[in-house]
Amino acid sequence: MGRSVMSGSLLEGNNFSSSTAGTGAGHQGSLGGGIISSLSTPTTDHQPHETVHRNILPNSSPATFPFTLGGGAGEGGKGTVTDTVAAAIAEVVELLRTDEPLWSRTQGERGLVIHRERYDKVFPKGNYLKSSTARTESSKDSGVVAATPVQLIEMCLDPSKLMDFFPMMVPKAKIIEVLDSGMLGGSLQLMYEKMHILSPMVAPRDFVFLRYCGQVETHAWIMVDVSYDSFKDQLDTSAPSNSWRLPSGCLIQDLLNGTSKVTWVEHVQVDDKKQTHRLYRDLICGSQAYGAKRWIVTLQRMCERFGFFLALRSIPAANHELDEVINAPEGRRNMMHLSQRMVKGFCEVLSMSDRVDYMINNGGVRISLRGQPGGLVVCAATSLWLPLPTEQLFNFFMDEKLRGEWDALSGGHPVTEIAGISTGSYPGNRVSIILPLGRKESNMVMVQESSINSLEAYVVYATMKLPDITSAINGDDPVKFPIFPSGFVISGDGRLEKTSSSSGSSSKARAQCGSLLTVVIQSMMSNNSFSKEDNMECMAGVHALISTTIQKIKAALDCSELD
């Protein structure tokens, strides 16, 4: 078998093991019989649920499990975890197996969504969220990723690996309880997950759900998620959004060359207590922001990143781009650790939209104050729309010659990269050490990570003292060094526009080229004894800085006339 890009260490302290304890890898168990064959075997028009259920779980019964919890699954309110998981597996398999008629193409050919009327006939269950404002989101997508199925299943079952792989989507995850570590040749656990898109204008989503992972054939695994009635009391009723995960998940097929084909189904009900911000309405309500394609694309990009990280172990020093600045492969790996910590910290800041210390001013800027050892951190964040494609904005922020036009940290001067580590095949995917030219503080540099995929991009950076960078390169624990990242997140706006045919007699929808830009600026005030007036002055200062930065960005992009 070919070597996966993720074989070996993910990052030190977060290893993919060569074994698969708890995942059922290496044996089928009683779940294995028939699941993959059922993916290509037609079922009857009105009974696919029952047919697939029998194929998947020919020997299952409530006695198979050492636990029974009351809830809403099954007849008479006597449902068990067994019933819920078995039915969820059957449903996910049918959704994976079928395109039409259960799925239909979205307007603009942007993907597949569930055909609601046909779905309800096959899987009648009603709405779990009893609210007139609740809505359903669904999507399906597939792609090849540079990892083995075992590595992907281990990631799905380990919250810390999950957060490492999806910092832009999952800032928080934990296992509430392991319900069974060998059920039917797989694992079942109760999990909590916070999901978000990186904007202060969008509330995060909290899910408590059952997750089943198991091997189903020699070269195939399945992951199934489903919320469960008995665990409703685990949800935070004060959260800004009620979220319920209908049967969702993915099929992972081993391509036997170190890569896997992943087919993902996402299906949720949500009830936002506040109306979705107008900027993000199309992206979110169109099942794009939290959809299957975003999971697939992000997984592909992060597997690529970690593949490049692992490759640092075998690149000869004489041929590497960092020779003059970083002399040892260990130093490059340490820089990757530092950058990963910076990006995760950036994402955590943007997932705080439900925190009480955020103050929203009339200009749409959220400002927060939080105490840190040695001072106070002030953070300002906002989002805006620009009529430019994502890649153009990304390239603008990556242009060293133009940086002085918008970045206050550069002092109005250009910058130069004095060291860089590639994290992907696209030139902009990299970790950089940047030196502002013309600044008096010659011992201050910027650490920056930039990344782009087909859906979104980010540029995250923070200033650090040169001695701290040197210490990090030499192997000192990066946690020792305070990092307060600023940066940008860019994504498509999810909108469609009508375009007329050449005859003018008809029109069709196509993707618009606008982007949503989130701007974050953090600043450290080195004093713990701030008065209320001092706090207000700090917030006013960072608000002025982010407002000026946005004005400069618009001017440089010839978009000053936009509100």
User: For 99-126, what is each residue's pLDDT tens digit?
Assistant: 888 999 887 667 899 999 999 999 988 7
**149-193 tens-digit pLDDT:** 999 999 999 999 999 999 999 999 999 999 888 754 679 999 999
> Which pTM does this prediction carry?
0.82
Task: Give residue 185's pLDDT.
Answer: 60
Neighbour tally for 12: CB within 10 Å: 9
Specify the 3-state DSSP secondary structure of 342. helix
CATH H-level superfamily of 337-495+511-556: START domain (3.30.530.20)
Any bridge partners for residue 467, and if so which?
Answer: none
Determine the Cα–Cα distance for residues 321 and 371; give it in Å rounded to an integer: 39
Do residues 518 and 489 make contact, with C-beta atoms less than 8 angstroms apart? yes
Task: Give residue 104's pLDDT.
Answer: 93
Specify the CATH number of the domain 9-306.
3.30.530.20
Task: Give residue 18's pLDDT.
Answer: 32
Do residues 496 and 435 make contact, with C-beta atoms less than 8 angstroms apart? no
Alpha-carbon Rg for the chain in angstroms? 25
Give the count of alpha carbons within 13 A of 536, CB side only: 3
Which of the residues in the chain have pLDDT under 70? 1-79, 108-109, 127, 130, 183-185, 230-241, 312-327, 352-363, 439-442, 497-512, 526-530, 563
Task: Give residue 329's pLDDT.
Answer: 76
Task: Give residue 209's pLDDT.
Answer: 95
Determine the Cα–Cα distance for residues 301 and 425; give it in Å rounded to an integer: 10
Give the residue among 219, 217, 299, 314 at the shortest CA–CA distance from 1: 219
Helix, strand, coil percent values for the chain (each to nearest 5) = 30, 30, 40
Neighbour tally for 311: CB within 10 Å: 12
Burial track 252-278 (b if 16+ CB lie within 10 A, e otherwise): bbbeeebbbebbbbbbbbbbbeeebbe
**50-77 tens-digit pLDDT:** 333 334 333 333 333 333 333 333 333 3
Residue 562 host element (H or E): none
Residue type, 296: I
Do residues 334 and 472 make contact, with C-beta atoms less than 8 angstroms apart? yes
**What are the sequence ranges of the domains in the chain?**
9-306, 337-495+511-556
